[in-house]
Amino acid sequence: MNPLIVYYSYSGITKGLAEDIALITDGDLREIEPEEPYSFSYNTAVKEVRAQIEKGYCPPLRRGVESVGDAETIFIGSPNWLRTFAPPVLSFLRSVDLSGKTIIPFCTHGGGGFGHMLEDYRRECATSDVREGIALKGGYSFDELQGWLEANARSLAT
């Protein structure tokens, strides 16, 4: 069964990473999109995001909430936003049944790595097997990603 690669991306960097993971793993891509897009202005977006994260708000999604079906391995990707995943990812995690699935988080970031995203995934997905995943800055090398996926493929598949 091919993996499913679910992601949210604001400015396209995580989208590129998701596409690379899909290419290397022969996975299926699914983009999460909130009904209300965040502001194009970085400073306004930070304010919007901070308010949503502080409240634990789950923005309604325009797309991305179909069942994951038989997929056993699900890569979930987000930009690092204020050290966690973006609120649309929280909406996805709370709307779709991921119990028994292997979750491989991935993120892109501006220097903060995963932040506390992995702990947040483990809290939200208590009935899933959440793995370590991979955090990359924009401008990462495709070879580095491919090497990581190959090195981890055995443990990811079991």
Ligand X SMILES: Cc1cc2nc3c(=O)[nH]c(=O)nc-3n(C[C@H](O)[C@H](O)[C@H](O)COP(=O)(O)O)c2cc1C
Nearer to ligand X, 80 or 91 (CB): 80
Contact region with ligand X (CB under 6 A), list: 42-50, 57-65, 68-76, 145-153: 42-50
**Cross-strand bridge partners of residue 54:** none
For 38, residues 6+ apart whose C-beta sits below 8 A from its C-beta are 10, 45, 48, 49
* 37 binding ligand X? (CB under 6 A): no
- H or E stretch covering 54: helix 42-55
**Cross-strand bridge partners of residue 33:** 63
Residues of span 71-100 touching ligand X by CB under 6 A: 79-83
Output the smallest distance, CB 8 to ligand X, in A: 8
Residues of span 3-22 touching ligand X by CB under 6 A: 9-15
Nearer to ligand X, 81 or 92 (CB): 81
For 43, residues 6+ apart whose C-beta sits below 8 A from its C-beta are none
Output the smallest distance, CB 4 to ligand X, in A: 18
- H or E stretch covering 11: none
Spatial contact of 21 and 106, defined as CB atoms under 8 Å apart: yes
Kindly tell me which residue out of 25, 109, 128, 145 binds ligand X, with binding defined by CB under 6 A.
109
* 30 binding ligand X? (CB under 6 A): no
Residue 31 exposure: Cα atoms within 13 Å on the Cβ side: 13
Phi first, then psi, for residue 113 (nearest 5°) are: 55, -140
Binding flags for ligand X, 114-143, as an x/- string (CB under 6 A): -x----------------------x-----
Residues within the interface to ligand X (CB under 6 A): 9-15, 42, 45-46, 49, 79-83, 108-112, 115, 138
